[in-house]
Structure 1
Amino acid sequence: MITSKYDFKLKETRFTSIITIFLFLIVSLTMVGAVSAATITVDDDGPADYSSIQYAVNNSSDGDIIEVAPGTYSELVYMQERNDLIIRSTNGSEATIIDAKQTGKSPLNSPGTPTHPAFYVMDCNNITIKGFTINDVILDANTNEIYQSTDPYLMTPVLLYSSSNCKVQDNILHNFYYGVFLSGEAGFGPCNDNLITNNKIDGNKLAFFGINLYDDGTVDGMENNIISDNTVQNCYYNIYAGFDAVNTTISGNVVSGSPDLVDYFPSASYTDPPQELDNGYGIKVTGDGLASDGTVGGQLIKGNIVTDCKTGILSNTFNVTVSENIVCNNNNGIGIDDYLHQVTGNEIHYNDIRNNENYGIINIAATDVNATYNWWGSNDGPSGEGPGTGDQVSENVSFEPFLTERVKSANISIEKSTNGVDADTPKGPDVQIGTDVTWMYNVTNTGDIVLYNITLTDSKLGEINCSDTTLDPGESIVCEVTGTAQKGQYSNIANVTGITPCETSVTDTDQSHYFGYDHWAGVPTANPILLVGLLGVAMLLLLRREQK
């Protein structure tokens, strides 16, 4: 058979066409996927797709993004069996408020409970709630008093109920009974792989839990959840990983207790006056330590700062690693107790444990705990069962060898400039007297610990107001002041102070200079009458020249 070049050309053309159609189908399918994800806008008082977050949720599709404009939204939001939905503010948490007071009514399609969370996420996957201030979910909308609920655990800003792969991020939560509540129970699905991060959580001394992980054992799954970089305070249990929670990571959080905590629901029913509580717990972990596949898991508590609690960190389970935390100014720093489960495999290392009133570490379990390589507030080690003058250590704690210096250091620096010049020594830049002179103060946290209550003063100008009073490690702020240049050599000294979580202070100073001069100095001052005469002569000469 003879095949002509035209047959080859025809086959080549058909092959090219098939490839073109195949690529077109791939691109079309990709575009269909992209088109299916929509951005839905919400604004309570302006042009938008909806004025309510709940309406936007009800009319969204999986994969959509709901963007909420600044404003105050008095509503409670419910979603069930939703996937890949992002709900976020456009201008951040301080500008976007959820007024979550209880009305006795539930959103459409919700379980119909008279008590309702601000965000109720039920049996969902990959939901993001980002950038909101959620206020007053514990209050009655009609009376502005504590809501007399029979289901107080539902008075929570965010409830992830049998939901996985969700993010609760960059929110401010205030005035609640439970803060962020992860729950797997009643035969629903697991609550795994969620991220709770960078939230500011304040229970206002009324809250029982700040962040709570709960699984009643009816489902397999409260696993691999991450609680990181949150600020949690004024709750009885500030962070609690309980019951069947396993493989939880609790890291980088700043946790503080309060001496004035109360509980209006001590038996899950409203009680007035409330029950008075002690300072509560910073971080507590418990549970049976078993993953859903039957393997033995653990918990990681790393790099947190825990202060002003009854017990800073409490372990009631096994395989808990406690490392690189700062635990100070508590009644007891770290506690080990086997009243629920055995506590073998606990490892406590490289922590800064100091200024705790009773014990740095107290172990009331029957087994020893490995607590080597910790700093006890003194280079001669712990007191109590130890040889030194640092925090006390109880029996059944293996504390040697111990660290003879702090794990993390606190430090602060300031660089002051005058008109952009780092003039540490005189004479500094020349500045015309009476003109503006600008001082810049660059303050940096050069240590490993967050610093609070940053105060900046100047020896000549007094207290300098700065935009921020808290600095994370490595973070800087620049403060600026403008004044009027004075004559002669000028010198002023800046002093900056920061307070550590353990209430010690760090400070630094920097000096700056300028020389104020008079540009007209040395030029004779003319007599006014003589000046007028000279001007007159000049005018006459000019007129004669014009006449010629």
Structure 2
Amino acid sequence: MDILYSLVPINIRLPEGRRMSFSPSSRSRLCNVVGGVLGIVLIVVLLLGILSVSVVQVLADGMPSEVWVDDDYTSSTPGWGETHFKKIQDGINAVAEGGIVHVAAGTYNEHVIINKPLTLLGAQADVDPTVEGARTDPSLESIIIGTGGGYDGAAIVIELPEATEKFEVIINGFTIKNPEGDYGIILPTSPEEPPYKDAIIEYNIITECGFGIESWYGEAAGDLIRNNLIADNTYYGVESYCWYKTIALTIEGNKFTGNKAGIYMCDVGTIVRNNIFENNKYGIYVHYSDGSIAHYNNFVGNTEYGVYNEGEPVIDATHNWWGNPRGPSGVGPGTGDAVSDYVDFDPWLTAPITVASSKSGTNTWLEFPESRVDVYVSGTAEVYVATYEYNPGARLAGSIENYIDVYVPDITGLDELEIRKYYTDDEIAALGLDEGSLMLYWWDGSAWIPCSDTGVNTEENYIWAKIRDDTTPKLTELTGTPFGAASRPPVRPPVGGEILSMNEPAIVMLLIQKNLGYIILTALAIVAVVAVIKRRR
């Protein structure tokens, strides 16, 4: 049909002989509708064009945001050479900055160099190898095997590119070996000034290397080594050469076993917490360390020393479990793993821990979900919270069988600390405890003492205690203090019954009331005997 713009009515012939007439006003409305539809179509076309241009640009640059690596891929694999590769290094070279390289289970004999921010994910990403019985099937692992000795033979090297800002590299879920060479992972120097690197090495098994992880001559700059199994390395699980204290290297949540030394320290400001050092020759060997700390670690079965320090300065290794409630041996007083001179080990933990972490804040809540604890800081403070594997003190009647440790290194800016320990209704019911009488106790070194300002919130299921300078315990006593939650013991009368004054006139009446049943029975017996005697006479 033809529609002509005119000032006269337009007639359009329809099927079955019907006609439709448009007046000029009707024609204007039609034009508006058609124009609107055409406008929407044009906008959609433009958007699709923009999106297609963006996609073409990414593909033209050869830098996809995600790539996949599998040692079974071949040239016939879809996406071969663009998003799918046989070698890890090819995947790293191809991925965009900040992208993800997925590496399937298999064995990769490579010297991998990472020189851009990215995430390298193995087949076992986020699966904790420190858990007993986990990660025992090699066929499920993405295994990287270094190619030989020295820097050029390391399994993985993270290099600092020419950048203006810090960049982050994550390596998660691999088994890393170098049985014929020296290094598993090398974290080389970052300068004192930006750009820094932030390397996160997590959920890996690092084994059969000369040195598992090497932090070379410089600033670790926020590097984090956590939740790895670092085992059976010829020399050191982690060798830390970190000389600048701008941002600390943190080593936490790892299990070190079967190494000559779990950690070799020649550094400044390294934080070592919540690790297990088991069956090494040395748990931690300190060549030189200034300002480094080791808190809330478990040292068990290390044949020479739990912590050995060659000389000054002294290393702070307080609040650790040494394998015995009486403390470490060596220069220590107990029979646990030995410590040397120049090691500050007192106070120590009297039971092993399962988890520990620290947080800082000002007038805020600090959350410790793994310990099921919240802490409110009135003022400013850093707070450590750890969970014990079992009771660190004497028996605590009515306990919910969950014990924590609270440590505040510096209370200068702290006015009050409120601790909230959470529980479930099922826990209380299973133990047969009185929920309304739950309270927090603290261990003073010889006995469990009720906190003086404590109570329970039965609606939100937490037990609370507020710690100040005028409470028991005091803020000054939060030097690594065990806390336990329990119901209040029932109030019982003294053994032998109530104590009454002998001069009290009502004592006779009280005795009669207490023994009325016996008096009646005795009287009836006497009456019966008298009656029998009278009959015989």
- What's the TM-score, normalizing by structure 1? 0.48
- What's the TM-score, normalizing by structure 2? 0.49
Structure showing greater Rg: 2
Query: Greater helix percent: which structure?
Result: 2
